[in-house]
Amino acid sequence: MIPDSVMTTSKITSRIHSPAFRWIAVVLAVLMAGALFAYIRPGGVEAYGGLTGEVRRGNLTISVSESGNLRNRDQVIVSNRVEGRTTLIWIVEEGEMVKKGDLLVELDASGLEDRLVDREIAIQNAEASYIRAQQELNVTKSRTQSEIAEAELSLRFAKLDLEKYTGDQGEYAQELDRLQADIDIAQEELLRAEQKYQDSKDLAEAGFITSLELEGDRLSHQRAQVNLRLARGRLSLSQDYTHNRNLQQKESDVERAGEALERARMRAHADIVQAEANYKAREQEFARQKQQLEHLRNQIALCRIVAPADGMVVYETSANPGRRGNREPLEAGQEVRERQELIYLPASEGMVASVSIHESALERVDVGMPARIRVDARPGQIFHGLVRRIAPMPDAQSIWLNPDLTVYSTEIAVDASNLRTGMSCQVEIIVEELTDVLYVPVQSVVRQGNGHVVFVPGERGGLEARSVEIGYDNHRVVHIRAGLEAGERVALAPPLPDGMDRSFGESDMEEAGAEITEVPAAAPPDAQRSERGQGEARAERPRGEGRGEWSGERSGRPRPAPEE
């Protein structure tokens, strides 16, 4: 049996020789060496005891770095054009080379085919209604024409009757002549009867005729008088009554015939308008049914999507893996919506990198700026490009996912032809190349009021605040325009009173009773380690943090104006 002490010693030896223990030892050694180096650096460090950085002079590149994906510069987008939501039945394998006209996607068309049968029945009914309305229109036009012709004939007859009655040789004129002739005849007969009666009286007195013959002549004389009176009465009656009645009747007949003609015309117009409206409605309905039938046939045809050009199949979900709702690769059985992009077919070998620029860095980026692109699949290689396009509006999908994040989609044309769609990349947009300028670490600069300060080791052993004029930064160092000289040292962990942050200005710090021109040199070791840890944390901040946001904003510094 092996003693416990031997087993313990063995375990300790194995742990010492383990890779984890070696890494811990290396890290501790580096920290101890860094602390020792910090204490022996010149320039008041012995008195200050905190981490400092050197003001350096050299060339400085101001850039905005973002991560993104590659895609072809010119590509044919194959989208779903079937209305609503449909189900994928079959899709071509991704990465396969296809020719123009090859089948890419097949969608479920069973529902559309059922609707097509119903539409064919509806179009037959619509066609029958259309034909019936057309015939009814023709019948209505023929009937109304006959009614108008009949009314026009009645009016013409009424006018002729009026003219026949009132003309110079008309019925009334002839009636007057007849009545006047009757009067003349009656007068003539009365004269003769009267003359005969007088003669008969003389003869009767002479005894030549009997009294009976005299009485007959007297009756004839009275009859002649009555006939004359009746003839005159008939003339007067015709002139005073019968003529006016007949004239008004004839004129009324003409007026009523004219009104009947107008009514016939209006009724004919209304019937024709109604028949035409019914005909047009049935015609439009028939045309709409035919159009919908053709539309359904087109929709069924669109369920088979063929390649519009030659190329390699790239799924949209692979080209845009970060889009909402498209995280899973396309496969049979999935539902797709109308206008959803399905497949990309590269039309050229040129590539673009798609990145999202944060709104804080948008003013620094412009179309045409150079860029350096590092592709994860090509380690060690740097590709060059130019900013091709900046979206005028923020990315709506990013706002939907995170309302506090506002980014703008940006495309960078990449000068390379051996890359593939969907590759991850890191894009560094070169904003400005500065030559022979001063710069310090970004964590050394603090905003104070409307200006900026850095803390330098003082002669009395503490830190002194010094105003500086800054330019742009690149997330690691910031350009110093004035206020420092090359070789000076600045505190990497600028002191702030408790409860303050780096967005406080001088007035805020004075209100809190803080002294910003000096800090005591005798800080406890724990506090020194805390300051060093904070400085290291700030120095090790990832370059991509903040999505391209200018680090001056993150530390409370306002964006500086560009150099003239």
Q: Identify the pLDDT of residue 327.
A: 57
Residues 30 and 145 in one domain: no
Tell me the per-residue pLDDT of 208-242, one tens digit each, with 9 for 90 and over.
888 888 888 889 889 988 998 998 898 888 888 88
Strands (E), 208-366: 304-306, 311-312, 314-315, 335-337, 341-346, 351-358
For 179, the token pair is 């009545």
**443 neighbors 455 (Cβ within 8 angstroms):** no
* Domain that residue 94 falls in: 76-101+306-347
Based on the domain organization, do 288 and 322 belong to the same domain? no
Environment class of 309 (CB within 10 Å of its CB; exposed 0-12, middle 13-18, buried 19+): middle
- Of 322, 347, 372, the last residue of a domain is 347
Structural domain includes residue 423 = no
- Residue 450: burial class (beta carbons within 10 Å; 0-12, 13-18, 19+): exposed
Residue 391 burial by Cβ neighbours in a 10 Å radius (0-12, 13-18, 19+): middle
In this prediction, residue 67 carries a pLDDT of: 92
β-bridge pairing 424-441 and 451-457: unpaired
The number of distinct structural domains making up the chain is: 3
User: In this structure, which amino acid lies at residue 62?
Assistant: I
Whether residues 144 and 247 share a domain: the answer is yes
**pLDDT at res. 50:** 72
At 496 the pLDDT is 67
Distance CA(426)–CA(421), nearest Å, equals: 14
Q: Residue 500 has what pLDDT?
A: 37
**CA dist., res. 179 & res. 451, Å (int):** 132
Considering the domain architecture, whether residues 135 and 189 belong to the same structural domain is answered as yes
Task: Kindly state whether residue 439 falls inside one of the protein's structural domains.
Answer: yes
What pLDDT, on a 0 to 100 scale, did the predictor assign at position 517? 30
Single residue among 321, 347, 373 that ends a domain in this structure: 347
Are both 314 and 170 inside the same structural domain?
A: no
Looking at the structure, do residues 320 and 272 belong to the same domain, yes or no? no
Q: Strands of 304-306's sheet, edge to edge?
A: 304-306, 103-107, 85-91, 335-337
Answer yes or no: is 352 within a domain: no
- For the chain, list residues with pLDDT below 50: 1-16, 35-47, 325-326, 497-564
Q: Which amino acid is at 209?
A: I
What is residue 282's predicted lDDT score, i.e. its pLDDT? 94
**Distance in angstroms (rounded) separating the CA atoms of residues 323 and 28:** 43
The residue behind tokens 């460090």 is 45
Q: Are residues 8 and 33 in the same domain?
A: yes
CATH number of the domain within which 447 lies: 2.40.420.20
227 and 154, same structural domain? yes
- pLDDT score recorded for residue 345: 87
Instruction: Write down the pTM of the prediction.
Output: 0.49
Nearest residue to 486 (alpha-carbon basis) of 99, 49, 45, 54:
54
Query: Is residue 315 assigned to a domain?
Result: yes
Same domain, 169 and 82: no
Is the separation of the CB atoms in 319 and 344 below 8 Å? yes
- Predicted local confidence at residue 415, as pLDDT: 87
Residues 183 and 238 in one domain: yes
Name the domain boundary from 269, 302, 335. Answer: 302
